[in-house]
A and B are shown apart, each in its own frame.
Chain A
Protein backbone atom coordinates (compact mmCIF):
# COMPACT_ATOMS: atom_id res chain seq x y z
CA UNK A 1 0.00 0.00 0.00
CA UNK A 2 2.85 2.34 0.78
CA UNK A 3 4.14 2.72 -2.79
CA UNK A 4 0.65 3.64 -3.97
CA UNK A 5 0.43 6.32 -1.32
CA UNK A 6 3.75 7.63 -2.49
CA UNK A 7 2.66 7.79 -6.06
CA UNK A 8 -0.46 9.66 -4.99
CA UNK A 9 1.81 12.21 -3.40
CA UNK A 10 3.93 12.32 -6.51
CA UNK A 11 0.82 12.60 -8.61
CA UNK A 12 -0.46 15.58 -6.63
CA UNK A 13 2.99 17.09 -6.62
CA UNK A 14 3.11 16.87 -10.38
CA UNK A 15 -0.39 18.26 -10.75
CA UNK A 16 0.44 21.07 -8.35
CA UNK A 17 3.68 21.94 -10.12
CA UNK A 18 2.03 21.83 -13.50
CA UNK A 19 -0.72 24.15 -12.34
CA UNK A 20 1.75 26.52 -10.76
CA UNK A 21 3.86 26.60 -13.89
CA UNK A 22 0.80 27.01 -16.02
CA UNK A 23 -0.47 29.82 -13.82
CA UNK A 24 2.88 31.59 -13.96
CA UNK A 25 3.14 31.14 -17.70
CA UNK A 26 -0.40 32.28 -18.38
CA UNK A 27 -0.40 35.35 -16.17
CA UNK A 28 -0.50 38.11 -18.71
CA UNK A 29 3.14 38.67 -19.50
CA UNK A 30 2.24 42.34 -19.29
CA UNK A 31 4.19 43.04 -16.21
CA UNK A 32 3.91 46.46 -17.77
CA UNK A 33 3.13 48.83 -14.95
CA UNK A 34 1.40 52.15 -15.54
CA UNK A 35 4.35 53.97 -13.95
CA UNK A 36 6.72 52.18 -16.32
CA UNK A 37 4.61 53.08 -19.34
CA UNK A 38 4.43 56.66 -18.16
CA UNK A 39 8.22 56.89 -18.07
CA UNK A 40 8.43 55.21 -21.46
CA UNK A 41 6.06 57.76 -23.02
CA UNK A 42 7.80 60.52 -21.12
CA UNK A 43 11.03 59.70 -22.95
CA UNK A 44 9.28 59.55 -26.33
CA UNK A 45 7.42 62.79 -25.71
CA UNK A 46 10.69 64.49 -24.81
CA UNK A 47 12.16 63.38 -28.13
CA UNK A 48 9.07 64.44 -30.06
CA UNK A 49 8.93 67.83 -28.31
CA UNK A 50 12.53 68.48 -29.20
CA UNK A 51 11.95 67.65 -32.85
CA UNK A 52 8.75 69.64 -33.30
CA UNK A 53 10.07 72.70 -31.52
CA UNK A 54 13.47 72.77 -33.21
CA UNK A 55 13.85 74.98 -36.23
CA UNK A 56 15.22 72.26 -38.43
CA UNK A 57 14.96 71.52 -42.06
CA UNK A 58 11.72 69.74 -42.90
CA UNK A 59 13.46 66.64 -44.25
CA UNK A 60 15.63 66.14 -41.19
CA UNK A 61 12.73 66.67 -38.79
CA UNK A 62 10.63 64.15 -40.69
CA UNK A 63 13.41 61.59 -40.67
CA UNK A 64 13.87 62.00 -36.93
CA UNK A 65 10.15 61.56 -36.31
CA UNK A 66 10.10 58.46 -38.49
CA UNK A 67 12.96 57.02 -36.48
CA UNK A 68 11.07 57.67 -33.22
CA UNK A 69 8.01 55.80 -34.48
CA UNK A 70 10.10 53.03 -35.94
CA UNK A 71 11.73 52.40 -32.58
CA UNK A 72 8.74 52.77 -30.31
CA UNK A 73 5.63 51.78 -32.26
CA UNK A 74 4.39 48.23 -32.75
CA UNK A 75 3.95 48.74 -36.49
CA UNK A 76 3.73 45.00 -37.06
CA UNK A 77 0.58 44.57 -35.01
CA UNK A 78 -0.93 47.72 -36.53
CA UNK A 79 -0.30 46.34 -40.01
CA UNK A 80 -1.85 42.98 -39.16
CA UNK A 81 -4.93 44.37 -37.50
CA UNK A 82 -5.64 46.90 -40.26
CA UNK A 83 -6.08 44.02 -42.69
CA UNK A 84 -9.08 42.85 -40.69
CA UNK A 85 -10.59 39.50 -41.67
CA UNK A 86 -8.54 39.43 -44.88
CA UNK A 87 -5.52 38.63 -42.70
CA UNK A 88 -6.77 35.13 -41.92
CA UNK A 89 -7.00 34.05 -45.53
CA UNK A 90 -3.75 35.72 -46.59
CA UNK A 91 -0.58 33.77 -47.41
CA UNK A 92 2.46 34.48 -45.27
CA UNK A 93 4.23 35.83 -48.35
CA UNK A 94 1.43 38.36 -48.94
CA UNK A 95 1.48 39.32 -45.27
CA UNK A 96 5.20 40.02 -45.42
CA UNK A 97 4.83 42.19 -48.52
CA UNK A 98 1.95 44.03 -46.90
CA UNK A 99 3.78 44.58 -43.61
CA UNK A 100 6.71 46.13 -45.44
CA UNK A 101 4.47 48.44 -47.45
CA UNK A 102 2.36 49.44 -44.46
CA UNK A 103 5.47 50.36 -42.51
CA UNK A 104 6.66 52.82 -45.16
CA UNK A 105 3.17 54.28 -45.50
CA UNK A 106 2.67 54.54 -41.75
CA UNK A 107 6.03 56.10 -40.91
CA UNK A 108 5.85 58.66 -43.65
CA UNK A 109 2.26 59.61 -42.95
CA UNK A 110 2.49 59.96 -39.20
CA UNK A 111 5.84 61.70 -39.20
CA UNK A 112 4.08 64.35 -41.29
CA UNK A 113 1.10 64.48 -38.96
CA UNK A 114 3.33 65.04 -35.96
CA UNK A 115 5.41 67.57 -37.83
CA UNK A 116 2.23 69.64 -38.14
CA UNK A 117 2.22 70.06 -34.38
CA UNK A 118 4.96 72.65 -34.84
CA UNK A 119 5.64 74.77 -31.77
CA UNK A 120 3.46 72.45 -29.78
CA UNK A 121 4.45 71.04 -26.44
CA UNK A 122 3.25 67.69 -25.16
CA UNK A 123 3.05 66.98 -21.46
CA UNK A 124 2.37 63.60 -19.90
CA UNK A 125 -0.43 63.79 -17.34
CA UNK A 126 -1.36 60.33 -16.11
CA UNK A 127 -1.30 56.61 -16.77
CA UNK A 128 -3.69 53.79 -15.98
CA UNK A 129 -4.01 50.14 -16.71
CA UNK A 130 -6.86 49.01 -18.96
CA UNK A 131 -7.18 45.26 -19.40
CA UNK A 132 -3.90 44.09 -20.91
CA UNK A 133 -2.56 47.49 -21.92
CA UNK A 134 -1.69 50.84 -20.39
CA UNK A 135 -3.23 54.15 -21.37
CA UNK A 136 -0.97 57.19 -20.96
CA UNK A 137 -2.74 60.51 -21.19
CA UNK A 138 -0.92 63.64 -22.31
CA UNK A 139 -1.98 67.13 -23.25
CA UNK A 140 -0.67 69.13 -26.14
CA UNK A 141 -0.61 72.89 -26.06
CA UNK A 142 -0.12 74.82 -29.25
CA UNK A 143 -0.09 78.51 -30.05
CA UNK A 144 -3.58 79.97 -30.55
CA UNK A 145 -5.28 76.65 -30.02
CA UNK A 146 -7.21 75.17 -27.14
CA UNK A 147 -5.12 72.36 -25.56
CA UNK A 148 -6.25 68.84 -26.40
CA UNK A 149 -5.62 65.26 -25.34
CA UNK A 150 -3.13 62.92 -26.88
CA UNK A 151 -3.61 59.39 -25.55
CA UNK A 152 -0.92 56.74 -26.06
CA UNK A 153 -1.82 53.07 -25.75
CA UNK A 154 1.07 50.82 -24.83
CA UNK A 155 1.38 47.07 -24.62
CA UNK A 156 4.15 44.54 -24.19
CA UNK A 157 2.30 41.63 -25.72
CA UNK A 158 4.69 41.63 -28.67
CA UNK A 159 7.80 41.73 -26.47
CA UNK A 160 9.20 45.03 -25.22
CA UNK A 161 6.69 47.78 -24.43
CA UNK A 162 5.51 49.53 -27.57
CA UNK A 163 2.88 52.00 -28.70
CA UNK A 164 0.04 50.38 -30.59
CA UNK A 165 -2.36 53.30 -30.93
CA UNK A 166 -2.40 57.07 -30.55
CA UNK A 167 -5.69 58.84 -29.92
CA UNK A 168 -5.58 62.55 -30.65
CA UNK A 169 -8.48 64.68 -29.53
CA UNK A 170 -10.64 61.57 -29.52
CA UNK A 171 -9.52 60.37 -32.93
CA UNK A 172 -8.00 56.91 -32.94
CA UNK A 173 -5.18 56.35 -35.40
CA UNK A 174 -5.90 52.66 -35.50
CA UNK A 175 -9.62 53.14 -36.15
CA UNK A 176 -8.76 55.55 -38.94
CA UNK A 177 -6.32 53.17 -40.59
CA UNK A 178 -8.58 50.16 -40.19
CA UNK A 179 -11.26 52.01 -42.14
CA UNK A 180 -8.79 53.38 -44.65
CA UNK A 181 -7.05 50.09 -45.39
CA UNK A 182 -10.37 48.25 -45.39
CA UNK A 183 -11.77 50.51 -48.11
CA UNK A 184 -8.51 50.43 -50.08
CA UNK A 185 -8.48 46.66 -50.03
CA UNK A 186 -12.13 46.44 -51.03
CA UNK A 187 -11.53 48.82 -53.94
CA UNK A 188 -8.73 46.55 -55.12
CA UNK A 189 -10.79 43.42 -55.17
CA UNK A 190 -9.29 42.12 -51.93
CA UNK A 191 -5.87 41.71 -53.54
CA UNK A 192 -3.22 42.29 -50.85
CA UNK A 193 -0.36 42.56 -53.35
CA UNK A 194 -2.14 45.32 -55.27
CA UNK A 195 -2.99 47.02 -51.98
CA UNK A 196 0.66 46.88 -50.90
CA UNK A 197 1.75 48.37 -54.19
CA UNK A 198 -0.79 51.18 -53.75
CA UNK A 199 0.45 51.86 -50.22
CA UNK A 200 3.99 52.17 -51.47
CA UNK A 201 2.82 54.68 -54.05
CA UNK A 202 0.68 56.97 -51.92
CA UNK A 203 1.63 60.55 -51.45
CA UNK A 204 2.99 59.56 -48.08
CA UNK A 205 5.50 57.03 -49.26
CA UNK A 206 7.12 58.34 -52.36
CA UNK A 207 10.36 56.52 -51.76
Chain B
Protein backbone atom coordinates (compact mmCIF):
# COMPACT_ATOMS: atom_id res chain seq x y z
CA UNK B 1 0.00 0.00 0.00
CA UNK B 2 2.61 2.49 1.14
CA UNK B 3 4.85 1.61 -1.75
CA UNK B 4 2.09 2.13 -4.28
CA UNK B 5 1.44 5.65 -3.03
CA UNK B 6 4.82 7.06 -3.88
CA UNK B 7 4.67 6.75 -7.67
CA UNK B 8 1.18 8.14 -7.53
CA UNK B 9 2.37 11.26 -5.75
CA UNK B 10 5.19 11.66 -8.25
CA UNK B 11 2.80 11.17 -11.13
CA UNK B 12 0.41 13.68 -9.54
CA UNK B 13 3.19 16.24 -9.17
CA UNK B 14 4.20 15.76 -12.80
CA UNK B 15 0.62 16.23 -13.96
CA UNK B 16 0.31 19.41 -11.89
CA UNK B 17 3.59 20.69 -13.26
CA UNK B 18 2.52 20.10 -16.86
CA UNK B 19 -0.84 21.72 -16.20
CA UNK B 20 0.83 24.69 -14.54
CA UNK B 21 2.58 25.36 -17.83
CA UNK B 22 -0.67 25.65 -19.76
CA UNK B 23 -1.92 29.09 -20.65
CA UNK B 24 -5.26 30.29 -19.32
CA UNK B 25 -8.37 29.82 -21.39
CA UNK B 26 -9.47 32.87 -23.38
CA UNK B 27 -12.20 34.88 -21.69
CA UNK B 28 -15.32 34.70 -23.75
CA UNK B 29 -17.42 37.71 -24.52
CA UNK B 30 -20.56 36.08 -25.81
CA UNK B 31 -22.99 33.95 -23.83
CA UNK B 32 -23.19 30.24 -24.50
CA UNK B 33 -26.52 28.95 -23.21
CA UNK B 34 -27.51 25.77 -25.09
CA UNK B 35 -29.67 24.40 -22.27
CA UNK B 36 -31.65 27.59 -21.73
CA UNK B 37 -35.05 25.86 -21.43
CA UNK B 38 -33.76 23.65 -18.62
CA UNK B 39 -31.98 26.58 -16.99
CA UNK B 40 -35.15 28.61 -17.06
CA UNK B 41 -37.03 25.89 -15.22
CA UNK B 42 -34.31 25.73 -12.57
CA UNK B 43 -34.39 29.51 -12.36
CA UNK B 44 -38.11 29.45 -11.69
CA UNK B 45 -37.60 26.90 -8.92
CA UNK B 46 -34.77 28.97 -7.41
CA UNK B 47 -36.86 32.08 -7.54
CA UNK B 48 -39.72 30.28 -5.84
CA UNK B 49 -37.34 28.97 -3.22
CA UNK B 50 -36.11 32.49 -2.59
CA UNK B 51 -39.59 33.89 -2.36
CA UNK B 52 -40.99 31.24 -0.04
CA UNK B 53 -37.96 30.30 2.06
CA UNK B 54 -34.70 32.22 1.68
CA UNK B 55 -36.03 35.77 1.60
CA UNK B 56 -38.46 35.41 4.55
CA UNK B 57 -35.94 33.44 6.62
CA UNK B 58 -33.26 36.05 5.94
CA UNK B 59 -35.67 38.68 7.27
CA UNK B 60 -36.11 36.65 10.45
CA UNK B 61 -32.36 36.11 10.72
CA UNK B 62 -32.00 39.88 10.44
CA UNK B 63 -33.43 40.12 13.95
CA UNK B 64 -30.20 38.63 15.29
CA UNK B 65 -27.88 41.52 16.22
CA UNK B 66 -25.47 42.61 13.50
CA UNK B 67 -22.34 41.71 15.49
CA UNK B 68 -23.51 38.13 15.93
CA UNK B 69 -24.39 37.76 12.24
CA UNK B 70 -21.03 39.24 11.24
CA UNK B 71 -19.27 36.90 13.64
CA UNK B 72 -20.88 33.85 12.10
CA UNK B 73 -20.25 35.08 8.55
CA UNK B 74 -16.61 35.77 9.39
CA UNK B 75 -16.34 32.33 10.92
CA UNK B 76 -17.77 30.75 7.77
CA UNK B 77 -15.42 32.75 5.53
CA UNK B 78 -12.46 31.71 7.62
CA UNK B 79 -13.34 28.04 7.22
CA UNK B 80 -13.10 28.44 3.45
CA UNK B 81 -9.53 29.76 3.54
CA UNK B 82 -7.67 26.43 3.73
CA UNK B 83 -9.49 25.36 0.57
CA UNK B 84 -8.45 28.61 -1.09
CA UNK B 85 -4.82 28.04 -0.07
CA UNK B 86 -4.91 24.59 -1.67
CA UNK B 87 -5.92 26.28 -4.94
CA UNK B 88 -3.27 29.00 -4.54
CA UNK B 89 -0.62 26.31 -4.23
CA UNK B 90 -1.73 24.32 -7.27
CA UNK B 91 -1.96 27.58 -9.22
CA UNK B 92 1.64 28.24 -8.14
CA UNK B 93 0.64 31.67 -6.81
CA UNK B 94 2.69 31.50 -3.68
CA UNK B 95 2.20 35.16 -2.80
CA UNK B 96 -1.53 34.62 -2.51
CA UNK B 97 -0.93 31.39 -0.63
CA UNK B 98 1.27 33.24 1.85
CA UNK B 99 -1.15 36.13 2.25
CA UNK B 100 -4.13 33.85 2.75
CA UNK B 101 -2.19 31.66 5.18
CA UNK B 102 -1.25 34.72 7.21
CA UNK B 103 -4.87 35.78 7.13
CA UNK B 104 -6.01 32.38 8.34
CA UNK B 105 -3.51 32.34 11.18
CA UNK B 106 -4.29 35.89 12.32
CA UNK B 107 -8.06 35.44 12.19
CA UNK B 108 -8.01 32.01 13.82
CA UNK B 109 -5.86 33.21 16.73
CA UNK B 110 -6.33 36.95 17.28
CA UNK B 111 -9.76 36.80 15.67
CA UNK B 112 -10.87 34.08 18.11
CA UNK B 113 -11.39 31.13 15.81
CA UNK B 114 -12.38 33.38 12.92
CA UNK B 115 -15.30 35.19 14.57
CA UNK B 116 -13.53 38.50 14.00
CA UNK B 117 -11.58 39.71 11.02
CA UNK B 118 -8.56 41.65 12.31
CA UNK B 119 -6.53 40.47 9.27
CA UNK B 120 -8.42 42.76 6.87
CA UNK B 121 -7.47 45.72 9.01
CA UNK B 122 -3.78 45.01 8.57
CA UNK B 123 -4.10 44.66 4.81
CA UNK B 124 -4.61 40.92 4.64
CA UNK B 125 -7.93 40.89 2.81
CA UNK B 126 -9.07 37.58 1.42
CA UNK B 127 -7.54 36.86 -1.96
CA UNK B 128 -10.28 34.68 -3.23
CA UNK B 129 -9.89 31.86 -5.69
CA UNK B 130 -11.49 28.50 -6.35
CA UNK B 131 -11.01 25.38 -8.39
CA UNK B 132 -13.03 26.90 -11.21
CA UNK B 133 -10.28 29.50 -11.55
CA UNK B 134 -7.63 26.81 -11.32
CA UNK B 135 -9.30 25.03 -14.24
CA UNK B 136 -9.42 28.34 -16.14
CA UNK B 137 -5.69 28.81 -15.60
CA UNK B 138 -5.11 25.28 -16.87
CA UNK B 139 -6.81 26.30 -20.08
CA UNK B 140 -10.24 24.82 -19.49
CA UNK B 141 -12.95 26.83 -21.21
CA UNK B 142 -15.91 28.23 -19.36
CA UNK B 143 -18.34 25.86 -21.09
CA UNK B 144 -22.07 26.32 -21.19
CA UNK B 145 -23.95 28.51 -18.76
CA UNK B 146 -25.91 26.51 -16.20
CA UNK B 147 -28.19 27.57 -13.41
CA UNK B 148 -27.70 25.16 -10.53
CA UNK B 149 -30.53 24.32 -8.17
CA UNK B 150 -30.10 26.25 -4.89
CA UNK B 151 -26.59 27.48 -5.78
CA UNK B 152 -27.77 29.56 -8.72
CA UNK B 153 -25.85 30.81 -11.79
CA UNK B 154 -22.71 28.95 -12.81
CA UNK B 155 -20.94 27.46 -15.80
CA UNK B 156 -20.05 23.86 -16.50
CA UNK B 157 -16.45 24.56 -15.52
CA UNK B 158 -17.27 26.44 -12.36
CA UNK B 159 -19.85 23.89 -11.28
CA UNK B 160 -17.19 21.20 -11.57
CA UNK B 161 -14.89 23.48 -9.60
CA UNK B 162 -17.42 23.74 -6.80
CA UNK B 163 -17.55 19.99 -6.37
CA UNK B 164 -13.76 19.70 -6.29
CA UNK B 165 -13.51 22.59 -3.81
CA UNK B 166 -15.96 20.94 -1.50
CA UNK B 167 -14.05 17.67 -1.64
CA UNK B 168 -10.59 19.17 -1.21
CA UNK B 169 -10.98 21.74 1.56
CA UNK B 170 -8.78 20.16 4.23
CA UNK B 171 -11.07 21.45 6.96
CA UNK B 172 -14.09 19.91 5.31
CA UNK B 173 -12.46 16.57 4.81
CA UNK B 174 -10.22 16.11 7.83
CA UNK B 175 -11.08 18.31 10.76
CA UNK B 176 -14.64 19.57 10.80
CA UNK B 177 -16.41 16.20 10.48
CA UNK B 178 -15.09 15.29 13.93
CA UNK B 179 -16.84 17.93 16.03
CA UNK B 180 -19.86 18.13 13.75
CA UNK B 181 -20.17 17.09 10.10
CA UNK B 182 -22.89 19.70 9.57
CA UNK B 183 -20.98 22.66 11.00
CA UNK B 184 -19.63 23.88 7.66
CA UNK B 185 -23.01 23.65 5.95
CA UNK B 186 -24.75 25.37 8.85
CA UNK B 187 -22.46 28.38 9.09
CA UNK B 188 -22.23 28.73 5.32
CA UNK B 189 -26.02 28.75 5.11
CA UNK B 190 -26.19 31.42 7.82
CA UNK B 191 -23.59 33.47 5.97
CA UNK B 192 -25.68 33.28 2.80
CA UNK B 193 -28.77 34.36 4.73
CA UNK B 194 -26.79 37.29 6.13
CA UNK B 195 -25.79 38.31 2.60
CA UNK B 196 -29.33 37.85 1.32
CA UNK B 197 -30.49 40.25 4.03
CA UNK B 198 -27.70 42.69 3.54
CA UNK B 199 -28.23 43.06 -0.19
CA UNK B 200 -31.94 42.43 -0.02
CA UNK B 201 -32.95 45.41 -2.14
CA UNK B 202 -30.38 44.65 -4.82
CA UNK B 203 -31.34 40.98 -5.00
CA UNK B 204 -35.05 41.78 -4.87
CA UNK B 205 -34.60 44.20 -7.73
CA UNK B 206 -33.04 41.50 -9.89
CA UNK B 207 -35.35 38.65 -8.90
CA UNK B 208 -38.64 40.46 -8.70
CA UNK B 209 -38.40 43.80 -10.43
CA UNK B 210 -36.34 43.21 -13.53
CA UNK B 211 -38.16 42.42 -16.72
CA UNK B 212 -36.48 39.08 -17.32
CA UNK B 213 -34.75 37.97 -14.14
CA UNK B 214 -33.30 34.89 -15.84
CA UNK B 215 -31.36 36.89 -18.45
CA UNK B 216 -30.23 39.48 -15.94
CA UNK B 217 -29.02 36.91 -13.41
CA UNK B 218 -27.12 35.17 -16.20
CA UNK B 219 -25.58 38.38 -17.51
CA UNK B 220 -24.65 39.63 -14.04
CA UNK B 221 -23.06 36.33 -13.07
CA UNK B 222 -20.99 36.04 -16.26
CA UNK B 223 -19.85 39.66 -16.20
CA UNK B 224 -18.74 39.39 -12.60
CA UNK B 225 -17.12 36.00 -13.01
CA UNK B 226 -15.24 36.95 -16.17
CA UNK B 227 -14.06 40.14 -14.54
CA UNK B 228 -12.79 38.11 -11.61
CA UNK B 229 -10.84 35.81 -13.92
CA UNK B 230 -9.46 38.63 -16.04
CA UNK B 231 -6.19 39.31 -14.28
CA UNK B 232 -3.95 41.38 -16.50
CA UNK B 233 -5.83 42.31 -19.62
CA UNK B 234 -8.18 45.19 -18.98
CA UNK B 235 -11.53 45.27 -20.60
CA UNK B 236 -12.58 47.65 -23.30
CA UNK B 237 -16.08 48.86 -22.62
CA UNK B 238 -18.94 49.55 -24.94
CA UNK B 239 -18.82 53.20 -26.06
CA UNK B 240 -22.31 54.74 -26.18
CA UNK B 241 -21.00 57.89 -27.89
CA UNK B 242 -19.94 55.89 -30.93
CA UNK B 243 -23.37 54.21 -30.84
CA UNK B 244 -25.22 57.52 -30.70
CA UNK B 245 -22.94 60.14 -32.30
CA UNK B 246 -20.90 57.87 -34.54
CA UNK B 247 -17.14 57.47 -34.37
CA UNK B 248 -14.88 60.41 -33.75
Question: Between A and B, how many residue pairs show CB distances below 8 Å?
Answer: 93
A171 at the interface (CB under 8 A from B): yes
Task: Establish whether residues B240 and A28, one from each chain, have CB atoms under 8 Å apart when the complex forms.
Answer: no
Of residues 100 to 116 in A, which have CB atoms within 8 Å of B's CB atoms? 109, 112-113, 116
A204 to B202 Cα, complex, angstroms: 12
A109 to B201 Cα, complex, angstroms: 11
As a 0/1 sequence over residues 151 to 188 of chain A, the CB contacts with chain B under 8 angstroms (1 = contact) are: 00101011000001101011110111011100110010
A57 at the interface (CB under 8 A from B): no
Task: Establish whether residues A171 and B220, one from each chain, have CB atoms under 8 Å apart when the complex forms.
Answer: yes
B236 at the interface (CB under 8 A from A): yes
Stretch from A4-12, A13-21, A36-44, A73-81 that touches the partner:
A73-81
A176 to B209 Cα, complex, angstroms: 13
Chain B residues with CB under 8 Å of A157's CB are 241, 245
Of residues 127 to 152 in A, which have CB atoms within 8 Å of B's CB atoms? 130-133, 135, 143-144, 146-147, 149
Chain B residues with CB under 8 Å of A175's CB are 219, 223, 238
B239 at the interface (CB under 8 A from A): yes
Interface SS majority for chain B? helix
Given contacts A143-B70, A146-B125, A203-B209, A176 and B239 within 8 Å (CB-CB): no
B93 at the interface (CB under 8 A from A): no
Nearest A residue to B206, CB-CB: A176
Task: Establish whether residues A78 and B240, one from each chain, have CB atoms under 8 Å apart when the complex forms.
Answer: yes
A115 to B14 Cα, complex, angstroms: 51
Distance between A23 CB and nearest chain B CB, rounded to angstroms:
13
Q: Considering only CB atoms and an 8 Å cut-off, how many residues of chain A contact the other chain?
A: 44
Task: Establish whether residues B128 and A146, one from each chain, have CB atoms under 8 Å apart when the complex forms.
Answer: yes
As a 0/1 sequence over residues 204 to 240 of chain B, the CB contacts with chain A under 8 angstroms (1 = contact) are: 0100011110011001100111111000001011111
Distance between A166 CB and nearest chain B CB, rounded to angstroms:
11
Given contacts A28-B248, A143-B70, A170-B224, A180 and B216 within 8 Å (CB-CB): yes
Q: Which B residues are within 8 Å of any A CB, using their own CB? A: 70, 73-74, 117, 125-126, 128, 199, 201-202, 205, 209-212, 215-216, 219-220, 223-228, 234, 236-245, 248
Q: List 10 A-B contacts (CB under 8 A).
A: A80-B243, A131-B236, A132-B242, A144-B74, A155-B241, A172-B223, A172-B238, A178-B238, A179-B219, A180-B216
Q: Which A residues are within 8 Å of any B CB, using their own CB? A: 26, 28, 77-78, 80-81, 87, 109, 112-113, 116, 130-133, 135, 143-144, 146-147, 149, 153, 155, 157-158, 164-165, 167, 169-172, 174-176, 178-180, 183-184, 187, 202-204
